[in-house]
Every structure is written in C-alpha cells, then in structure tokens.
Structure 1
Amino acid sequence: MDLDAYVAAHSHTWARLERLVEQRRRSGAEADELVDRYQQVATHLSVVRTSAPDGELVAYLSSLLGRARIAMLAARVPRWRGVGRFFTEQFPAALYRLRWWWLGCLAGNVAVIAVMMIWLAGHPEVEQSLLSPADVDQLVNSDFESYYSENAASAFATRVWINNTWVSALCIALGILGAPVLYLLFNNIANLAIVGSIMVRHDRGELFWGLIIPHGLLELTCVFVAGGVGLRLFWSWIEPGDLTRAGSLARAGRTAVTVAMGLGVVLFLSGLVEAFVTPSPLPTWARIGIGVLAEVAFLTYVFTLGRAAAARGATGDIGAELLEDRVATQA
C-alpha cells in the first residue's frame, strides 16, 4: 500500500474528527457525525497497522481515537448519570457474577475463625506464649473497649476506612499471584480469632461480640469480597477459557477495578458504623441490630439489584465503547 497516497486520501476525515473532538458543544447531527467519523478512522487505523505499520501514524490515529472515545462517552452519559449507572448496574452486577468466589471465601474464613477460636480456647498455653498476664489483663479490661472510643469519631472513621480499603485493595491487587491473598486473609482472621478467644476465656465474650458485630459483619464481608475477587483474578490466567491468558486477565482485572471502587464506598459506610455506632451508648441489641441491618442491606443490594443488572447483560466490565478497537468495520 502507498502510505502517502492513503494519508492524502483520508487526512480530511482525520482533520474533521479532530475538529469534532475539540468542540465543546455539538448538535445532534454533529454527535452522529462524530460516531461515523470515529468508525471510519478506526478502520483506517486497522488498515495502517495491517498493511503499512508506520509508528508515528499509528500513534497519532490511536491518540485521536482515544480522545474521540472520551468525547462520545461524555456526550452520551452525563457525569451524575454515569455515577448512578455505576452503582445500579456495574458494581452490583460484578458482585453478583462473582458471588460464588466471595461467598466461598466468606464461608471458608468464617469456618477457619470458628475452628481457631475453639482450638485456642482449649489451649490456654498458646495465649500465654503470645501475651504476658499483664498484657492480657489490660486487653480484657480496658484496651479492647477503649480502642473504639479513645479518638474523635470522625478521625477514627477516616483511619478505619483507609486501613480497610488498603487491605481490600491489596487482596485484589495481589490476587494475580494467588498466595499473597491467602496470607493477607489469614493474618486478618488470625488476629480476630486470637483476641476473640482471649476475651471469651476471660468471660468478656458478650463485650467482644457486642463491639465486633455492629461493624464487623459488613467490614469483614467487604474484605472477603476483595479476597474472592483477588482469587478470581488469579484463576483468570490459570484457566482462561476461550480467551487468551492476557485477554482473560485483562477482563478480570477491569471487573476487579470496578469492585475495588465500589468497595471503597461500602467500607466508608462500615467505617461510619464502627466510629459512631460501635462505641455509642445504645444498648447492645440496638447496636448489633444496626450491624445486621447493614449486612442485610448489602446482601439485598447484591442479590436483587445485582441479579437484575446481570440479567440485563451488565458484567462489571467497562463498556465496549472504551475498549481498544481490534477489527475493522467498513471502509
């Protein structure tokens, strides 16, 4: 192919797309033309890559198409509508489609916590090897309860949110390796099991559960969701199905980012509960009730809104209009 002749024949189309992209406002006809020109230039890029792969021209057309994709998305989806669609379609659909991964992670971790607490309760020598009698006495009689109220609620909520978001993000980000996710989850539940067994052995079980359950149900569910999604990311390149390993990993990775963004909001709500409800003077049954309601609300969100969104075809992946063009349409 004569590259110079091809550029001369189609440069006017590229220039027109440039002008449409740079316009702040477009009429209905111009918005339709933007889509048409985008498809034409995508075809031109495909032809150039196949027949005359000039690096500079490929970079220019790729950049132009990227800016055009953003312009088209902005023209079709107002900002707040996009946020609404994320929380009514993408995030719940991703949670629902990945439900067996994180429900399995949740069930497995709860079982391990239960076994560890039962075993630790029957082996008090382990407790003695971890903490001195003075440390145990301080934990049981003051430290555990004061942890939730020794700082200002707003500052405590922020700290808790950042910490839990960081743990969840690590579970997802390190999911590609598999084993680090299991290590993070084990450390998380081991601390809970050790402190819980100590509190129960010293007849402070009611205080322990009364302070853990209000925020812990939703908080731990989020961590287990992150763990399950991280393990699914690992499995995506182990067993890619009908995709290439890179394609399977890319798709799972994009969905994982959707889940991570949504979990940040859910963990913020969990942090508010931990900072304002857990240490509050409300009776224990009321605080636990709030925690149970928060957990039920989350599960209802997943299994009603998420199931409906998945049935409509939502996957949690980004829209096709934002993916790289891989094939030509029509010259």
Structure 2
Amino acid sequence: MDLDVFVAAHRAEWDRLDQLQRRRRRLTGAEADEMVALYQRTATHLSMLRAQAPDPVVMNRLTTLVARARSGVVGARRSTWRDAVHYFTAGFPAACYRTRNWWVPTAFAFILVTVLVGWWIAASPEVQASIGAPEELREMTRPGGAYETYYTESAAVAFSAQVWTNNAWVAAISLAFGVLLGIPVIWVLLLNAVNVGIGLGLMAGAGRLDVFLGLILPHGLLELTAVFVAAGVGLRLGWTVIDPGPRSRRVALATEGRAALGMAIGLMVVLFVSGLIEGFVTPSGLPTWARVTIGVVALLAFLVYVFVLGRRAAEAGETGDTRAADVGDRLPEVA
C-alpha cells in the first residue's frame, strides 16, 4: 500500500466525517445516514492501515476519529446498577468458573509447598536455628507471642484495612503481571507459600500447631482462595502469550486481559470480606471451632457461588469479558 496515495484518496471522507460528528446533534436525516456510511468506511480504512501500513500519525488520527464517530452513531452507553448486578451475578462467577482449571491446581500446588516447608522446618532443629535464635523463636511461638499478638496489636478496623490492602496488592500483581509469561505470579506464590510454611513449621515444632491453624483458617481459607484465583488467571494470561489458540495473539490477549482485569473488582470484594473476618473474627474471643466454622462457611459460600452460579452463567455463554456492545468492531481475520 502506498500510504501517501491512500491518505490523499480518502482525506476528504475523513474530514467530512469529522465535520459531521462535531455537529451530530444538529444533523438532518440525510446527514445522519451519511455519517453512518462514513463511519463504517473509515473504520475499514483503519483496519486496512493496521494490517498494511501502520503509520503512527495517521493511525492516531483515524483511531480518535472512529472512536468519536462511534459514540455519535451508536450512542454512549452509561453504566447502571444493572451492569453491577450482572457483573456480580454472571460475569465474575463465570470468569472464576472458566479459569478453574488454572486456579484449582494452583491451590493444590501452594498447599503442597506450604506443607512440605512446614514439615521440613518442624522436623529439623537445624533449620529452625537458621531462621532465628532460640530465644527469638520461643518469643514468637509462646502463648501470647508474636504469632498471636499479630492479630490483636492493631484496632480491628485499621487491621482489616491493612490486610485488605496487602492482599489486594498481591492479587493485582498476579492479574496485571501474568502477561509476563506468569513468572511474577509464580514468584509471588512461592514467597507466600514459604512464609506460611515457616509459620506452620515453627508453631508445629513448638507443639502449638492447633493454635496456628485456629488463627489462620478463619480468614485464610477465603483469603488464599482469592489469591489462588488471581494467580490462576494470571498464569492463564501468561500461557495465552505462548499459545493464543485459534485467535490471533493480539485478539486473544485483549480478550483474556479484559476478563482478567475485570475480575479484579470481584476479587477486591472477596478480599474485603476475608479482611473483615481477619480483623474482627480471628482475634475475637470466640472458641476456635466457632472461628474456624465461620471461615469454612465463607469458603463454601464462595465455592457455591462459583461452581453453581458461575457454571450456569458460563453455560449460558457468559465469559466475564466486556459486553460485545462495548467492544470495538473488527474485521474478520484468518488465524
């Protein structure tokens, strides 16, 4: 394609479309029809340029022009409460269900690494000595020690906010940086598995495993599940870079990326609930069985939400991606 010739041949159409879209509120019927035809033609021009002569200056102008004209042709759609309801009753649970083959194995791998690290530390006084001095370890694991006071040293509201922020950051890293072949996701998971395993091993070695589990299970069941979902989605996104399937890599990444970032909203809500449990239930005076039961109920509620509601939504065609009406049109392409 000769870019100069192409631009010279169609500049008048682009200028006319720009003129019409600027006064679209005062168009006659004939002018409105002309604007629709020019919008479709210009969108085709943009697709041709992307494929054959992606000049940045011309592309920038046409991209802006097509976007503005599109809002005039189809109208701008405002988000409503219906969108929020649809997202939480269909989009988010369907996205979680669709990615289950990634985050469920991630969960098992995380638990396996945690248990192995914990067992290794609990069974080896030498490893414990490499972590800290005997006095320090006793101070951490004794009744009323660091592992227990961690949940009560701050006000419940402030502690919940702190926990939520930290976990939201971990989930965001997994979702956003999964595109880097999933390597950052694996690193974050490994660090968290080792950290939990160290606590598990030290408390088990001190004969206080029941106390440790009673402290971590009430909030940890739901909290870690949300992290597993984020990590699984990030790993799926990373794999899309390697194997986009029948779609082009650009289209596959755009589709999966939109769904992944959209899941961030839902996961923030899940992590907010787990933060409330960690701030108000974990350090409460409730008996251990009651606190653990609350954690189990929260986890079961989420699993039912995903595997019942999400499955139904996925079978109905919901993917968690942006609605088709909000995604720009594109020309058919050969894989």
The one-letter code matched in structure 2 to 1:172 is: L
Which of 39, 42, 47 matches 2:40? 42
Runs of at least 5 residues in structure 1 that lack an aligned partner in the other structure = 24-29
1:158 aligns with 2:158: no
The one-letter code matched in structure 2 to 1:192 is: V
Runs of at least 5 residues in structure 2 that lack an aligned partner in the other structure = none
Q: Residues 69-110 of structure 1, C-alpha deviation per residue, up to 9 Å, x if partnerless?
A: 567888555422222222122211111111110001011111
TM-score by length of 2: 0.84
1: CA distance between counterparts of 2:126 and 2:56? Answer: 68
Share of identical aligned residues, percent?
43
Cα distance change of structure 1 residues 287 and 15 upon mapping to structure 2, 3 Å threshold: same
Match of 1:27 in 2: none
2: CA distance between counterparts of 1:110 and 1:2? Answer: 59
Q: Contact 2:168 / 2:268 at 8 angstroms: preserved in 1?
A: yes
2: CA distance between counterparts of 1:202 and 1:111? Answer: 21
- Report how far residue 265 of structure 1 moved: 1.5
Q: How many corresponding residue pairs? A: 320
2: CA distance between counterparts of 1:55 and 1:138? Answer: 62
1: CA distance between counterparts of 2:137 and 2:323? Answer: 53
The one-letter code matched in structure 2 to 1:207 is: V
1:277 aligns with 2:281: yes
1:209 aligns with 2:213: yes
Which of 228, 250, 260 matches 1:256? 260
**SS in structure 1 opposite 2:39?**
helix
2: CA distance between counterparts of 1:86 and 1:254? Answer: 13
2: CA distance between counterparts of 1:159 and 1:86? Answer: 26
Match of 2:176 in 1: 173
Q: Residues 284-331 of structure 1, C-alpha deviation per residue, up to 9 Å, x if partnerless?
A: 111111111110111111112211111121111212233333239xxx
- Report how far residue 68 of structure 1 moved: 5.4
Cα distance change of structure 1 residues 125 and 77 upon mapping to structure 2, 3 Å threshold: same
Q: Contact 1:157 / 1:271 at 8 angstroms: preserved in 2?
A: yes
Cα distance change of structure 1 residues 133 and 213 upon mapping to structure 2, 3 Å threshold: same
- Report how far residue 117 of structure 1 moved: 1.9
1: CA distance between counterparts of 2:146 and 2:120? Answer: 24
Cα distance change of structure 1 residues 201 and 10 upon mapping to structure 2, 3 Å threshold: closer
2: CA distance between counterparts of 1:268 and 1:293? Answer: 16
Cα distance change of structure 1 residues 174 and 13 upon mapping to structure 2, 3 Å threshold: closer
**SS in structure 1 opposite 2:200?**
helix
TM-score by length of 1: 0.85
2: CA distance between counterparts of 1:72 and 1:84? Answer: 27
Q: Which has the higher contact order (CA 8 A, sep 6+)?
A: 1
Match of 1:221 in 2: 225
2: CA distance between counterparts of 1:2 and 1:184? Answer: 49
RMSD: 3.1
2: CA distance between counterparts of 1:212 and 1:101? Answer: 24
Q: Contact 2:97 / 2:311 at 8 angstroms: preserved in 1?
A: yes
Match of 1:309 in 2: 313
Q: Residues 203-260 of structure 1, C-alpha deviation per residue, up to 9 Å, x if partnerless?
A: 2122111110000001111111111111111110111111222322222222211122
The one-letter code matched in structure 2 to 1:86 is: Y
Match of 2:150 in 1: 147
Cα distance change of structure 1 residues 36 and 121 upon mapping to structure 2, 3 Å threshold: farther
Cα distance change of structure 1 residues 70 and 268 upon mapping to structure 2, 3 Å threshold: farther
Match of 1:107 in 2: 108
Cα distance change of structure 1 residues 5 and 203 upon mapping to structure 2, 3 Å threshold: closer
- Report how far residue 266 of structure 1 moved: 1.0
The one-letter code matched in structure 1 to 2:109 is: G
